[in-house]
Amino acid sequence: MEIGILGSVEIWHGGERLAAGAPQQRCVLAVLALNAGQGVSVDRLAEAVWGEEPPGDWRGVVHGYVSRLRKVLKPAGLEIVRRSPGYALDAEVDLHLFRKLVADARGSADPASGLFKALALWRGTPFDGAAGSFVLDRLRDGLTQERLGVVEEWVEHELRLGRHREVIGDLTVLCAEHPYQEKLVGLLMLALHRSGRQAEALRRYDECRRLLADDLGVDPGDDLRALYERVLRADPGLNPAPADVPAAPVEPVRAPDSLPFDVPDFTGRALELERLVELVAGRGGVISVDGMAGVGKTAFAVRAGHALASRFPDGRLFVDLHGYTPDRQPVTAEAALGVLLRSLGLPGTEIPAGLDDRVATWRTAMAGRRALVVLDNASDAAQVRPLVPGSPGCAVIVTSRRRLPTLDGAVPLSLDVLPAVEAEELFLRVVGEDRGPGAAELVSLCGYLPLAVRVAGARLRHRPRWTVVDLVERLRVEQQRLSELAVDDRGVAAAFTLSYEHLEPALRRVFRLLGLHPGVDFDAHAAAALTGLPRPRAEDALEDLLDHHLLEQQVRDRFRFHDLLREHALGLDGPREDADVRVLDYYLAVAHRATNVLQPGRRQVDPELAHPPSSLPVVADLPAASAWFAVEHPNLVAAVAHAERRGVERLVRDLPRNTGHYMIISHRIDDLIVTQEAGLAAVRRLGDPREEALSLSHLALSYYMACRYRLGVRHATANLEVARSLGDEVNEGYALAILGLLHQRLGEFTAARDCNARAVELRSNSTDYRLVAICVGNLGRIALAAGDLDSAWAYLSKALVRSREISERSEEASVLSGLGATLSRQGDHESALRHLYEGLELAREVGNTDYVVRGRIKLAEGHRRAGHLERALAVATEVVDDLRKGVLVDHLASAWNVLGRVQSDLGVPASASFENALELATRIEYRIELAHALRGLGRAEEAAAHYRAMGVAQ
């Protein structure tokens, strides 16, 4: 199988799952896979994604999805080809394999086993992870009904073979998932009746009847009513044919039940419980429940045991193996077997002494039984293996703080912390509804860990004068949070300490040092920097800590601490070895390399590294560098703040310089300002004028991006003065370029032209090719804004050549959009739109969000000038809707103006759009958009005054 759609939408190659992309891209893949080998039109793909309301540029978006899918599929040797009426995917798809297996089974001598093999291909809800319209929902419903039809067919074959007991578990789960499917209910009733459970069969009918009446207002159909009447009168005709009746099961001697009390305030875990019941019903065997200390594994296993009681009439056995119990050694397998055998009623005189003899006695005693065994708090797989009975009718639930991958045949089920809503519900159940206000913040401070929530609730319950707010105030102080989460002999820190003490000394050191990581999550490279270990050893240590549930892994190859575990790690005694500075040097080294890829030809100085890292990720091309920044961005912001707290000035200076470009192109403006201001402050503390000039340059550009133009001019002017006083032409050129941008936004076009022209003059004979290309492009953009179209074309054409010469693809994208806008105003609409689409696609490809937004605005204007008013309206409306959610005031002002012009051309009211543009442009002093808004509102005299002040010909 290469493509999977019978569950989550997946691509497989060589045993590895490849990234299928965003939810809407998965929708395109799902529809192509559903019709594998056949051509699917672009219209049909768009309908599946958006229904009857596709976005303005829907055709281009679909082509983009297909293009990205081609890149993903290429390593697997799969292709999306052009085939009438659109695209076709040539691949092996699980759905088509399923249909082939079903057809083969129907023509075989043993259809039951063939149908079962086909059904095993289903992994969940079809198209899971894909986002689409009602069309995709209809396709999903159709496949679900197709599966249910095959399930019903398989069950009917099983019943003919006398396997009524074996199908009850599967039918119970299916009836819970599809409660209105009367055929399934009828099959379950028949299986229960044949298993001697007539009362349960009748109850199932009554539940179905009430559900249909309450939810749908209908009665059961004739077939189900007739079956009910036959079960009611115990019709002998419902029994299986005598030849098919299986041998009578071995009757159990007794039905012991040593499950602990099911706590009444157990909360949540509905999906996990459903999954466990499904596993036990479907295959029995061993289910290994793992999770971090305090996550509620024992309570969950006990709740599951009580829920499963009716399936195991021959006994429910419970043993605490004390793998992680204070002041207790783990129970040996031999001792545990003694407990289990006594639970079965064997007198002590009949229980042999040795481990092997006890295992044999245990498995003999369990032969033929249908019993459930709960082995709680296991230390490792070796402790559990001898305790697993051999009877296929038995099931075992094991709980442990560590994963047990070497427990043969065990199906893992990991418990995470509770969702916020369920954690709050648990807290209220512990303390009572009347003391609940403020519970949301309290459970958040507990990290949604059930043990922490219960302990917090117990503290509050035993202190009637406290309010939730009082406890929240105490928990907000990180250094005392763990000490606050303790009552009597129960405490979160104590539970964590037990897990920590089970580690080998080398792994304890890694755990302590990882706690110093300043950010959100980390990979093996960062862990190697923190610990000083070679990357393979660091990777092994991370996996070991993950197995012990002392780390979490929400995405592949990335690890993180639970908040309370991080605090525990920081509070442990042991040498720290400057680990945090090592990891900051690591982030600086990679950011420097990645920015060189994103910004070819940038001015750079190799950073000063006190601890050069031994292991670095590959960031040698645009996709890799962009992907690294996207994942590590929160860590890089945290790294600057941590370096500032630690007083490592070189890192506070250098980290912002090597992360700022990514923040600009990805529009992370708030983080950009915070980090660049920190960088300038550090440079001033170091007292180096040349370094101050460079930081002033970065901060001035940051203020430009933040639409704080006057503040930007002040910093750029200061930068220019420092650069000139030092005779530093490099910094002078950059200061002039940034001043030009700021003057242009403020409507000071003459000053903007002079700054860019002077920068080109200064650096044209140097190797500063990137700066020259940008400044030439800026001269073209100023000419375009001023209405000098011939000059705009000349400058932008020159800038395009220079950008391509140095592979500055972001600038190339911007210049293409500028050329498209120029052609549009010259009336060459076909060429204009070609340039605009090319620039937009390139901006998307290189991940420059800023240029993508600008390109979309220019595209809307290009369609307007070409007379494509409906398309222009759709694009402009979509851009406005997207920008209203963010902080890009300058682009939003431009977008409102374009939308207003489109609305005016369509003859619909446009004043609201122009008013919005005017308010935004006035607020930030964006003079050209202010003038456009005034003209749109019909305030011609005011607009003309602004145009004259800028020297713009209108």
Q: Where are the beta strands (DSSP E) in 91-190?
A: none
Spatial CB neighbours of 106, under 8 Å, sequence gap ≥ 6: 114
| Residue range 692-740, pLDDT digits in tens | 999 999 999 999 999 999 999 999 999 999 999 999 888 899 999 999 9
| Residue range 847-900, pLDDT digits in tens | 888 899 999 999 999 999 999 999 999 999 999 998 887 768 999 999 999 999
Q: Which range, 255-259, 335-339, 640-644, is most confident?
A: 640-644
Taking alpha carbons only, the member of 911, 892, 891 closest to residue 903 is 911
Bridge-based pairing of strands 316-320 and 372-378 is: parallel
Q: Which range, 235-249, 290-304, 464-478, 898-912, is most confident?
A: 898-912
Taking alpha carbons only, the member of 926, 631, 951, 630 closest to residue 787 is 951
For the ranges 109-118, 527-536, 561-570, the lowest mean pLDDT is seen at 561-570
Longest Cα separation, the chain = 109
833 pLDDT band, cuts 50/70/90, is: very high
**Percent of the chain, pLDDT > 70?**
95
Q: Which amino acid, one-letter code, is at 661?
A: H
Whether 88 and 39 have beta carbons less than 8 Å apart is answered as: yes
pLDDT at 700: 94
pLDDT at 249: 40
480 pLDDT band, cuts 50/70/90, is: low
pLDDT at 58: 82
Q: Residue 368 pLDDT more than 80?
A: no
Q: Residue 246 pLDDT more than 50?
A: no
Q: Residue 238 pLDDT more than 90?
A: no
The DSSP annotation for 518-553 comes to -SS-B-HHHHHHHH---HHHHHHHHHHHHHTTSSEE
Q: Which two tokens stand for residue 558?
A: 């990335």
Distance CA 932, CA 922 (A): 12
The DSSP annotation for 454-519 comes to HHHHHHHHT-TT--HHHHHHHHTSHHHHHHHSEETTEEHHHHHHHHHHTS-HHHHHHHHHHTT--S
Binning the chain into helix, strand and coil, the percentages to the nearest 5 are: 65, 5, 30
825-845: b (≥16 Cβ within 10 Å) or e: beeebeebbbbbbbbbbbbbb
| Residue range 412-450, pLDDT digits in tens | 998 988 888 888 888 888 777 666 567 888 888 888 888
pLDDT at 887: 67
Please give the average per-residue pLDDT across 614-642, as a whole number.
92
Taking alpha carbons only, the member of 92, 79, 125 closest to residue 12 is 92
pLDDT at 953: 67
pLDDT at 479: 60
CA dihedral in degrees (671, 674, 679, 684; nearest 10)? Answer: 170
Q: Residue 577 pLDDT more than 90?
A: no
836 pLDDT band, cuts 50/70/90, is: very high
230-235, long-range: CB < 8 A, 24+ apart: 231/189, 231/190, 231/193, 231/198, 231/201, 231/202, 231/205, 232/202, 234/198
Q: Residue 230 pLDDT more than 70?
A: yes
What average pLDDT does the structure give for the chain? 87
**Residue 15 burial (CB count, 10 A):** 5
pLDDT at 247: 40
Phi, psi of 550 (to 5 degrees): -95, -5
Please give the average per-residue pLDDT across 310-334, as a whole number.
84
Q: Residue 282 pLDDT more than 80?
A: no
The dihedral sign for the CA sequence 26, 28, 34, 38: negative
826 pLDDT band, cuts 50/70/90, is: very high
Q: Residue 780 pLDDT more than 90?
A: yes
490 pLDDT band, cuts 50/70/90, is: low
Spatial CB neighbours of 833, under 8 Å, sequence gap ≥ 6: 820, 824, 859, 862, 863, 866
Q: Residue 758 pLDDT more than 50?
A: yes
Q: Residue 248 pLDDT more than 50?
A: no
Distance CA 582, CA 584 (A): 5
Distance CA 161, CA 149 (A): 19
Please give the average per-residue pLDDT across 667-683, as a whole number.
93
pLDDT at 470: 77
232 CB-side CA count, 13 A: 9
Using CB atoms within 10 Å of the CB of residue 816, give its burial: 0 to 12 exposed, 13 to 18 middle, 19+ buried: buried
pLDDT at 313: 83
pLDDT at 462: 67
pLDDT at 216: 80
pLDDT at 253: 40
Chain-centroid distance, C-alpha 794:
46
Q: Which range, 149-153, 277-281, 399-403, 793-797, is most confident?
A: 793-797
Q: Which two tokens stand for residue 439?
A: 């519970």
Residue pointed to by tokens 């902080």? 887
pLDDT at 31: 93
